[in-house]
Amino acid sequence: MKELLNIFVLLFLLLSISSFPISILRFKSLFNVKKIYLFDFLSINFLINTILLLFLSFTKFNFQVYLLALISCSIIFNIYQFIKYEPKYDFLKKELIFFLIITLIISIKLSANPTLSWDGLENWYFKAQNFFYGLNFFNLNETLGINYYPHLGTYLWGIFWKSSFFEYEYYGRIIYVYIFVLSIFTISDLIKDNHLIKPVFTSLIVIICYDEFLFGGYQDVLLFSFLIFTSKYLYFYLKTSDNKYLLLSFLYLNLLPWIKNEGYIFVIIAIVSLSCFINLLKKREIILFMILSILLILLKFIIFNNYLSINPTHGANLKFNYEINGFIEFLKIFLPGLIVAIFRYKIWILIIMGFVFIFRLKQVNKKNIFYKFLKINFVIYFLSLVFIYYDFLDEPRGLYWWIHTTLDRFLYSISGSFIILLVLILEQNKHYFKK
């Protein structure tokens, strides 16, 4: 019973850290936060706190002091706001209750089977344990596991593990459940229906994207969720040209390389895709976006090179076989592997159907810059997969091993970029469901 109560307490903790510091802005006219939807409010707060925690991971500062301060501020500001401004406060919204119940249900499932999956047990656990013991980034060289793997996700895992009453390891991973559910609710907010389509769609995405194996310590869930956030704010930016949204997508995107090395690929693909629209967008901001992203990647390289080690290609040697027969051999292994990986995660079936749908609508394509952006993104992702896995052709473990063990997870993360497509199609065609 106490274990279950601890899950409730952790959810309260998570909700608290997602309710601050944007609450402060409501008292100033700096930011028109009254227009912010509930789940945007939670996810932007969470983003700000994650960035601050990333800085803390390099220091010896006690993260529990930070969390305590955050919770205190959050409670004070929210109670004040509740009394002063909004008697019909967000906490009473049924969407929030629905969100909390889903998070609770999945957390209880995680609690019933708290085992770690392969990489979780062999690599990521040790990083989380390092932070659990109050050590910081600079101690990661002294622990087990692969030291060139980034640490942000495991830092979050470690601090929530430490912040639970019983200090059971799986409590730290409840934050992954929270981010996963929050990202799906945030993207579903684009649907302007509250009673039927939105909750059904949200539940469907939660069910088909939930993978018990990945919640066993893998970081792909975080990549998936952060890509959902990125895609939503990029959509707003392309729609409104408001720099606020470009900044938000920039921040979410550039946290990815600190979660997993594949994050670089997502940043580079976003840069290439945006550069295709540079004439239609504000040139200065987009160029700044690109330069800063590249600088942040270089910064991470320098930090890892100095204190841990770097291996961005994960064992591949970037020596390509240019013979046509070699490429045909590669395709014979890669394409069946790709089909198997697509069917492993059912969300891809919906995404491919979505692309077929928008490819058929020529008029919509011409008007909608975001659809064009998604299509370019999709093609670049496919070409990148071919490029990346072709490089593994001569790797000692063999191409088959790489495809068998990594491609499905890679595709799972990528799917986060394209769930927005399903939301937009549904939003545009929801009148069919109401007939």
Binding site for other proteins (CB under 8 A): 1, 3-4, 94, 98, 101-102, 105-106, 108-109, 111-116, 118-119, 121-122, 125-126, 129-130, 133, 135, 139, 142-144, 166, 168, 195-196, 199-200, 203, 206-207, 210
Based on CB atoms, which residue is closest to other proteins, 133 or 359? Answer: 133
Looking at the Cβ atoms of 139 and 384, the one nearer to other proteins is 139
Please identify which residue in the block is written with the tokens 């229906």.
193
| Closest separation in Å from C-beta 108 to other proteins | 5
Q: Which tokens hold the place of 328?
A: 């045909």
Please write down the HEC assignment for all residues of 354-411. Answer: HHHHHHHCHHHHHHCHHHHHHHHHHHHHHHHHHHHHHHCCCCCCCHHHHHHHHHHHHH
**What is the nearest approach in angstroms of other proteins to the Cβ of residue 122?**
5
Please classify residue 330 by burial: count the beta carbons closer than 10 Å to its beta carbon, then call 0-12 exposed, 13-18 middle and 19+ buried: middle
Q: Which is nearer to other proteins, 80 or 168 (CB)?
A: 168
- For other proteins, give the closer residue by CB, 112 or 318: 112
Give which of 412, 4, 421, 371 is closest to 190, Cα–Cα: 421
Q: Which is nearer to other proteins, 366 or 397 (CB)?
A: 397
| Residue 236: CB minimum distance to other proteins, A | 27
DSSP annotation of 256? G
Q: Which parts of 163-282 fold into alpha helices (H)?
A: 169-188, 197-209, 220-240, 243-255, 263-275
Q: How far is the CB of 189 from other proteins (least distance, A)?
A: 16
- To the nearest 10°, report the CA torsion of 343, 380, 188, 365: -110
Residue 157 carries which DSSP code?
A: H
We find the least distance from the C-beta atom of residue 297 to other proteins, in angstroms, to be 29
The least distance separating other proteins from the CB of residue 65, rounded to whole angstroms, comes to 21
Map tokens 């504000």 to a residue: 282
Q: Cβ of residue 3: shortest distance to other proteins, in angstroms?
A: 6
**Calculated CA dihedral for residues 368, 268, 256, 311, nearest 10 degrees:** 160
Q: Which is nearer to other proteins, 162 or 372 (CB)?
A: 162
CB 250 within 8 A of CB 292: yes
Comparison of 363 and 396: residue with beta carbon closer to other proteins: 396
C-beta of residue 99 within 8 angstroms of C-beta of residue 39: yes
